[in-house]
Amino acid sequence: MPITIPQTKEELEKEFKSVSGKLESLGLSAYESKAYIALVAHGYGNAELIAKTAQIPRTSAYSVLKSLESKGFAIATTGRPVIYKPEPPSKIFEKVKDELEETFQKLELIHEILRERGEPQLVYTITGKDKVTEKIGELLDKSTSNFIISTPVVSEIRDKLQKKIENAIKRGIDVTIITEAGQKVPKNVKVVRREGLIATDVISDETTALIASPDLNACGYIENAQLARHLAQFLEILMEH
């Protein structure tokens, strides 16, 4: 498909909003999306320059750029002031392609399992970040032996579910968190570092499975021991590698 180059200020603003929205679907916040586009446009820049170009608050620019770095969208220098460079879009594309391939492998796994069973399975869906996070907390409260969560947004889950995680550990629940390098995790949990995570996957007691979108705004979960065990095995493979 041929790419149309924006010719006017209005067309450029429209394209900026379009690209920014698509980046948000990959798990970036609105500020992060704008900051990455600004980095690509300049080739490099400090927090002040990127804030001005991206039209985001200057007070938020540094934390936004640090977040982009942790998610693999930016590279930081060691000097002062810190200068950031964008990870090449082609490299981001390859990363996203690999992550989507992994996600569809999971979906294919679900498809095969349900087809083998030859009977319909009830998959529950939830929309809204607060409700999705609340459901993850509910699964954590109901866990009786183990709880595995694989997520690129562990900070959001940690902030909202810290107490529930602590209570689960006190109850003797084996809590494992799979997340990317540099992400702060709660104390006393088993941590596995893995790059390139995109969706949030949860397995509770190998009986309930939940898969959420990158921004935690929607999820699907199923109370099916066979399917949950298969997804648990899939996550164990990720941990081994």
pLDDT digits (tens, 9 = 90+) for 36-86: 888 888 888 898 998 988 888 988 888 889 888 888 888 888 777 889 998
What are the residues facing 204 on neighbouring strands?
147, 208
Amino acid at 185: V
- Predicted pLDDT at 96: 75
d(CA 203, CA 221) in angstroms, rounded, equals 10
d(CA 216, CA 154) in angstroms, rounded, equals 11
Pull the structure tokens for residue 208.
């309930």
Query: Which residue shows structure tokens 């893995």?
Result: 194
Q: 0.75 exceeded by the pTM?
A: no
Confidence of residue 140 (pLDDT cuts 50, 70, 90): very high
> Which structural domains are found in the chain, ordered by start?
9-87 (1.10.10.10), 95-240 (3.30.870.10)
Query: Which residue shows structure tokens 């991206």?
Result: 54
Confidence of residue 91 (pLDDT cuts 50, 70, 90): confident
Count of positions (residues) in the chain: 241
Q: What are phi and psi of 161, to 5 degrees?
A: -120, 15
